Chain A
Amino acid sequence: MVREPILTCRGLVKRYGRVTALDHADFDLYPGEILAVIGDNGAGKSSMIKAISGAILPDEGEITLEGKPVHFSSPMRAREAGIETVYQNLALSPALSIADNMFLGREIRKPGVLGSWFRMLDRRAMEKHARDKLSELGLMTIQNIGQAVETLSGGQRQGVAVARAAAFGSKVVIMDEPTAALGVKESRRVLELILDVKRRGLPIVLISHNMPHVFEVADRIHIHRLGRRLVVIDPKEYTMSDAVAFMTGAKAPPEPALAA
């Protein structure tokens, strides 16, 4: 079975002053899979994710998307290329409505003169798209699409952020600690959302410290240690304590790491 990875990184290096956050890190994401990225604090996993989502520019190394090298100078560039990120802080504007938030930075304008001359937003179209997307992901407990995001619960806000990524992500969706701030019930909702997104055929990069969640949904687990990829394991062949042992250095990784 020869599969081509949709997104790869080779030899990424990122230094902050004298600290090397990424030390020739590699990364591979295959189509349609959920790849979990785990690692201790300071292992450099968030620097790697930021490099992929365009939030930082690596000093060295190469990122390729569908075989073509890419250089993301800002999150906008990554988004234009089809990589959507759900940030840990969600990146929502609390006072704006759900629809306004989902379309922030890529608003739909009214057709004709109203749109081109008066730059008028097409609220109805944006609200319809937003509602469709939310109901597709089973999030229609929200009564009013025009309500401000700050009036929603934590789980609902997470849902809006995931829906935004799923609505616009055409190639890759990255989720940074999506369940960290949530209760048991909301976490369950979000895990189902993640599997929903996968069913749509989008590959997902999931960064999490929550081992049960990682082992439940991930197809492969990328273990990051000391600024580089230590090993990629199959969650069916290893236990959670193995994974923790690899990532903390308590145990040496299995020798020739499985290629894919």
Chain B
Amino acid sequence: MAQVQEFETTLDGGDKTVASFDVHDTGLRRIQNFLHANPAAVPLIVLVVSLLIFGLLLGSKLFSPFTLTLILQQVAITGIIGAAQTLVILTAGIDLSVGAILVLTSVVMGQFTFRYGLPPAISILCGIGVGALCGWVNGALVSRMRLPPFIVTLGTWQIILAINFIYSANETIRSQDIDAHAPILKFFANDIRFGGAVLTYGVLAMVLLVLILWYVLNHTAWGRHVYAVGDDPDAAELAGVRTSRILLSVYTLAGIICAFGGWVLIGRVGAISPTSGAFANIESVTAVVIGGISLFGGRGSILGMIFGALIVGLFSLGLRMIGTDPQYTYMMIGVLIIMAVAVDQWIRRVAG
């Protein structure tokens, strides 16, 4: 034991009780702690509750296997792009170019096949390469040049979209042509049916992708580093994380995932159009935010993002089936976004 300073001798007579938190540790405080440890719980609860409410209003119309799997089909693209967005937002960044990469890569896959006559499998690989390149450029600008991600991706969004329209010459590749010459481009439109349920390969791909990323984020060093970089980049760097390498890999991977989404998009839309997927950007950010992933980085679970995407899908379809003005859907989604951010701030205060 170190020899004690004179002024410290009175410590022995001091109050020995450790700061005990008053016993309103029950109820609210316990919920706060639970949500802090399980960030995907809030969107899951919201999803279940809204499923019950819509179920009461719509009855068996909603709870048919066909309707429930239809929601899944409608959120497949949002879910895949949302997975890419999740990675970037976990590092306290944002990627506004995801939608543009999605469309450009689907156009590349189509045009390489039909304009240059490449085997469709090679075209798909080229598309994924283009996605990786776009993501790498974002990552290099963010990590090497240290530009703010919002500005970088606002710029690349416009650039990539412009390249998309110039390169495609605004041409749409028709569905029949794809079916006749390159069916593999529509691979993800294939489905498994049982009862009334229709599970497209696109839906299965989304689920599989999210599960893989969940594993990677929680059980590998790279995943822990992604969280650490988003949490406090300076601390992560000093603790031995190569922050700029992590950022570069995150943006590149996000680009690859978007390109994969571009392939799934062809199956979903049927044709290849340079104007499809226009809402992917905003939908992916919405899914991530409603999914309880903090825009300030380092917190949240990718599973929450899927629940967020499903909440949006459920509201869109449910309100349409009830027959309300579609504007109410946007209004509800707006309310959900603000509530989600408010809950995020409240959960963070557990640290206080």
Q: How far is the CB of A73 from chain B (nearest CB, A)?
A: 12
B220 within 8 A of A: yes
Count contacts on B: residues with CB < 8 A to the other chain: 36
Chain B neighbourhood of A120, CB < 8 A:
219-220
Of chain A, the residue at the smallest CB distance from B233 is A93
Whether the Cβ atoms of A188 and B2 lie closer than 8 Å is yes
B13 within 8 A of A: no
Complex Cα spacing A188 to B225, Å: 33
Chain A neighbourhood of B227, CB < 8 A:
93, 95-96
Whether the Cβ atoms of A151 and B5 lie closer than 8 Å is no
Whether the Cβ atoms of B5 and A212 lie closer than 8 Å is yes
Chain B CB within 10 A, most for which of A89, A104, A195 = A104
Size bin of chain A's contact surface: 35 or more
Q: From residue 89 to 133 of chain A, which have CB atoms closer than 8 A to chain B?
A: 89-96, 100-101, 104-107, 109, 118-121, 123
Q: Mark B308-352, 1 if CB is under 8 A from A, else 0.
A: 000000000000000000000000000000000000000000110
Complex Cα spacing A167 to B141, Å: 37
Whether the Cβ atoms of B224 and A121 lie closer than 8 Å is yes
Whether the Cβ atoms of B224 and A107 lie closer than 8 Å is yes
Chain A neighbourhood of B224, CB < 8 A:
96, 100, 104, 107, 121
Using A79-B240, A216-B3 as known contacts, say yes or no to A150 and B351 having CB atoms under 8 A apart. yes
Q: How far is the CB of A240 from chain B (nearest CB, A)?
A: 12
A200 within 8 A of B: no
B298 within 8 A of A: yes
Using A76-B240, A94-B231, A94-B351 as known contacts, say yes or no to A121 and B299 having CB atoms under 8 A apart. no
Q: From residue 226 to 263 of chain B, which have CB atoms closer than 8 A to chain A?
A: 227-228, 231-232, 234-242
Chain A neighbourhood of B232, CB < 8 A:
92-94
Number of A-B contacts (CB under 8 A): 96
One of B2, B19, B236, B351 near A191 (C-beta < 8 A): B2
Q: Mark B197-233, 1 if CB is under 8 A from A, else 0.
A: 0000000000000000001000111101101100110
Q: From residue 209 to 231 of chain A, which have CB atoms closer than 8 A to chain B?
A: 212, 216-217
Q: Mark B1-26, 1 if CB is under 8 A from A, else 0.
A: 11111011001001000010000000
Nearest 8 A-B pairs (CB), nearest first? Answer: A105-B240, A91-B238, A150-B351, A107-B221, A93-B228, A91-B235, A93-B231, A119-B220
Chain B residues near A (Cβ < 8 Å): 1-5, 7-8, 11, 14, 19, 36-37, 215, 219-222, 224-225, 227-228, 231-232, 234-242, 298-299, 350-351
Chain A residues near B (Cβ < 8 Å): 55, 75-76, 79, 85, 87, 89-96, 100-101, 104-107, 109, 118-121, 123, 148, 150-151, 153, 184-185, 188, 191-192, 195, 212, 216-217
